[in-house]
Structure 1
Amino acid sequence: MNNENPYLLKTFKSIWLKHFNDNKKPLTFSFVNTLTFIKHKKLPVFLSTGTTNTKGISYRLSNNISSDYKNNVFIIYDVPEFNGKNNTSTNAISCYKVKQYPGFICDLKKYNTLKEYMLDVISKKSRYKFNSYKRKLETSHDIHYKMYLDDITPETYENIFNHFNKLLKKRFSDKKIVNNNLDPEEWDFYKEVTLPLILNKQAGLFVVYDKDKPIAITLLNFSKDTVLDVIRVFDIDYKKLRLGTVSIMKQLEWCIENNYKALDFSKGYYEYKQRWANKPYWFEYHIFYDKKSIKAKALALFYKNLFAFKLFVRKKHLTDYIHQFKFFLNSKRYAE
């Protein structure tokens, strides 16, 4: 697999810019290496390319800083806390680091089999149940599993993504909440960007089939020795057979057998993430600003407080009501 972070690749950036920045070229600044930015429409604020569509960004500050940072604020989204420890402010620039989303990793380094991992992470009672779910699913249906990598055909890709969309709509229509991935602009982006990433060995589609019918699909990205969970869904008709649990088990097994060191469930809390992961962490937003500019200092403080408030709202589960209301306004989209 390609060892680069997929969200820093030209392929990801160019397609993201096409969908979310009117195809305008990204901007570079001397204070940070590797990253590019887009400008806020009205404010002297610059957002890291990819914004919230990334699943983990790492960066290093530059030793050669020119004056292009002056009077400006820079927001770098989705920095895992363990990737940001070496990033410190300079004499010219200060930084707020704001926790934003919990993250969950299945650290697989010391395990040779799925059984070993489950013995260490999953309780005895749950292990028995999960293995029985798998046996029951596989004996009652014609189940097989497939990880699509760079050998996927355009026809197969189109078919899987069509099923992917239908399963997501079915799942969230049942839950009666919105799923941001189903926003037409966002879905079109993922559909366009995933195939070239797959062909570049930066992504994969893990599919569970019942005969020829996809019943669970997970979009994964690959970064170094880590598999990153992007979007996952299962057919709710198989809910009683715990299809979601079985799909995770098979993905962990695939990761271990293919020498990956981690399956990263990425940002956002779900019960299954907490149950399966053995390494919780936090995603942070890093807000850099010109420490000598009153305007930049005020804007940076505003964004720091805004992101802190958003985290508070999520912790109090108030976003659930927002997602339910948005579903009510957009319910026709989920019935298509």
Structure 2
Amino acid sequence: MIKHNLFISSIFSAIWLRHFSKGKEEVVFPCIPTLQFVKFPKLPLYRNVGGKNTKGISYTIAKGQKHSLRGSVLLCYDIHSYFQGSLPVLEKPLKLKRIEQYPGFLSDLEGYNSVQDYMQKTLSKKSKYRFNLYQRKLEHSFEIRYTVYFGTITKETYDFLFDTFYLLLRKRFDAKQETNNNLHPDLWNFYHELIYPMILDKRAAFFVTYDQEKPIAISLLFFSDSVAIDIMRVFDIDYASFRLGMTSIIKQLEWCLAQQFKFFDFSKGDYEYKNRWATKRYSFEYHLFYDSTSLKATFLANGISFYFTAKQYLRDLDLHIWFHKLTHRLKNTNGKKNSLTKPQFKAVSSTILGDNYTAISISSLKESHLKKTLIDFLYQNSEKLSDLQVFRSKTEANSYAIKGKKNTAIFTIPKHQ
């Protein structure tokens, strides 16, 4: 059982109701006193406050209480099976259907002295070396600083980071040609109102990686008692070579260990990095409570159970990936496809530049693909941005040269980019 579960707290519930309940009053059933519900229209069906916008809840069953459902069904989304534990025997005629949905992943942090200790004991030797290398190369090439906004943040900084978060997330998923539910205006507006007071109350934090004054990676964490919960994370895809996501995880685990959190919950979704970093796998479940003396409630509960079971079967076949790609394409019918073609660097002597190239300012570059090319050069050659010079060819269109402290290369940007 999660103590002081954020997703059933008064602040989360009040803001969620304001955005998603459409004016409906919350209802509490004495048999499940820790949860609040709102009614679906036209059906004897109630869903828990928070719905699918939580990252895992748990609850208790009150002994000796009459079920009081009276022909109704209660739908509880995203029950966290690891923290929920076993349930007491239900008193008739109350019955429960448990429907397994998304996989979840978490790291048990107890017993580890530092993030390097954790990496030593949970990652392969090769992965540990590579992840530390990414961080060293990033900090060598750029003026990197890491900032945690926890307990204090100005409204101006908050709005700036929130807007940057949106732009980076949109940029990433446009590149993947997929939709992302978090970018839906209703959900994004909900998060915008919710997160600021939660940061001030130490129930949330922004973890930001800066390149000088520019945020290049942002992660949002929520906190429930001794659990840190990974809500959203994004990085600037121009810096993809440096694997910012890995460095972000290292810094967050380091901070969580220093703050003595017992668990780092990567939450729902089966991704390679979660399998690599997590120490435990669990399941999110949907729980259906219903009045078994009611034919209508029994029929409705069975129908909902079948629907979600079938939906999970299709998700296991990865059809949701194709669905997100299709919806992105339908919403962006006039958008240009992002080319995956990468320019090839050709190492040359700096003396060949001569009068054939003219110097250009890096700060004046507007083309995202050109900025990414410069960053790739830094990664491949372990150069520093502060040492970099960029030149444009006077004779060949889309041809450029990069000169670092130790390396010089020429390259051509494909015309279709």
Q: Is 1:321 aligned to residue 292 of structure 2? A: no
Q: Distance in 1 between matches of 2:167 and 2:334?
A: 11
The structure-2 alpha-carbon separation of the partners of 1:77 and 1:248, relative to structure 1 and needing over 3 Å to count, comes to: same
1:99-248 mapped onto 2 (5 Å cutoff): 99-248=100-249
Identify the residue that residue 263 of structure 1 maps to in structure 2: 264
The structure-2 alpha-carbon separation of the partners of 1:333 and 1:302, relative to structure 1 and needing over 3 Å to count, comes to: farther
Identify the residue that residue 255 of structure 2 maps to in structure 1: 254
Task: In structure 1, list runs of 5 or more residues that go unmatched.
Answer: none
More moved, 74-83 vs 16-25: 16-25
- SS in structure 2 opposite 1:215? strand
Q: CA deviation at 1:25?
A: 2.2
Q: Distance in 2 between matches of 1:310 and 1:67?
A: 29
The structure-2 alpha-carbon separation of the partners of 1:37 and 1:332, relative to structure 1 and needing over 3 Å to count, comes to: farther
Amino acid at match of 2:225: K
Which protein shows a greater Rg?
2
Q: Where does structure 1 differ by over 4 angstroms across 4 or more consecutive aligned residues?
A: 332-335
Q: Distance in 2 between matches of 1:144 and 1:311?
A: 41
The structure-2 alpha-carbon separation of the partners of 1:87 and 1:217, relative to structure 1 and needing over 3 Å to count, comes to: farther
Higher helix share: 1
- SS in structure 1 opposite 2:68? helix
- SS in structure 2 opposite 1:230? strand
Q: CA deviation at 1:332?
A: 7.7
Q: Is 1:24 aligned to residue 40 of structure 2? A: no
Amino acid at match of 2:194: V
Q: CA deviation at 1:23?
A: 3.6
Q: CA deviation at 1:219?
A: 0.9
Q: CA deviation at 1:330?
A: 2.2
Aligned residues: 334
The structure-2 alpha-carbon separation of the partners of 1:145 and 1:97, relative to structure 1 and needing over 3 Å to count, comes to: same
CA contact (8 A) 1:18 1:24 kept: no
Identify the residue that residue 59 of structure 1 maps to in structure 2: 59
Q: Distance in 1 between matches of 2:95 and 2:30?
A: 15
Higher relative contact order (CA 8 A, sep 6+): 1
Amino acid at match of 1:227: A
More moved, 19-28 vs 182-191: 19-28
Q: Distance in 1 between matches of 2:315 and 2:254?
A: 32
- SS in structure 2 opposite 1:74? strand
CA contact (8 A) 1:57 1:78 kept: yes
CA contact (8 A) 2:199 2:205 kept: yes
Identify the residue that residue 70 of structure 2 maps to in structure 1: 70
The structure-2 alpha-carbon separation of the partners of 1:160 and 1:298, relative to structure 1 and needing over 3 Å to count, comes to: same
Q: CA deviation at 1:34?
A: 1.4
1:262-281 mapped onto 2 (5 Å cutoff): 262-281=263-282
The structure-2 alpha-carbon separation of the partners of 1:285 and 1:31, relative to structure 1 and needing over 3 Å to count, comes to: same
Q: CA deviation at 1:333?
A: 11
CA contact (8 A) 1:170 1:334 kept: no
Residue by residue over 1:252-281, the C-alpha shift from the partner in whole angstroms, topping out at 9 and shown as x without a partner, is 111111111111010111111111101111
Identify the residue that residue 5 of structure 1 maps to in structure 2: 5
The structure-2 alpha-carbon separation of the partners of 1:88 and 1:203, relative to structure 1 and needing over 3 Å to count, comes to: farther
Q: CA deviation at 1:204?
A: 0.8
